[in-house]
Amino acid sequence: QRQNDAVLANARLATEQTQRALLQSQNDKALVSAELQRKRLQSQFMLTVLLAILVVGIILIFFYWQMRKANRQLNYASTHDALTKVHNRRFFDLELVPQLLDGKPFLLVSFDIDHFKKINDTYGHFVGDEVLIATSNRLRNSLRKDDYIIRWGGEEFLMCLRHANIFGQSLSFVERMLNEFSHSTITTSKGPLRVTASIGFKVAQCTSQAELSGFLNDIDQYLYRAKERGRNRAFRS
């Protein structure tokens, strides 16, 4: 009987040990499963954070480039004439004037379309605009990289040339530009128009705003003298 009781006790002990081992195995499995779930949730959270950062980054980059684009457009609009797309007087005052006060020679050319009011009165302001656009394109095409053209007002354009040997080339440049302009026509919606221009020009050097203002006044007077002498011509001192 004692032997049977011992065998039974051993069997019960073995069963309990097996049950405990099974329970421990289940607990370990649950812990492993919980750890895996935690890591999976952590990975999903990190992925979500990274995606959010990426999306926010893309949005910020997009708005940054849009802002830069808007700033470029604003800067362009503030320094260019809306109709002809050449520089305006604000560009001349803020950016070009400081360059001209370095004491180096430059050529100032005042270019004014002859009888422009008659063109507007005869063909309409739309054709007048076409003439202004075509004229500005022609003038721009005659310039070099470091030269500038500014719409000075109405039908008048100011050109500033700074390339080498400007003293020797100024007269030939102006004559060539005047001849090319007067011996060709401008294509408009009302047909080709022959348009002439008057020019006042001067080679200048200056180191002060007062000197530059004097040169601008000079070429303005030369322009009026060209018009007084019959238009379609250039005048200098």
Name the residues annotated as catalytic.
155
Pairing of strands 234-235, 197-204: parallel
Q: Give CA–CA dist 139/235, Å, rounded.
A: 18
Q: How far is CA 58 from CA 10, 40, 69, 72, in A?
A: 70, 27, 16, 21
Single-letter residue type at 225: R
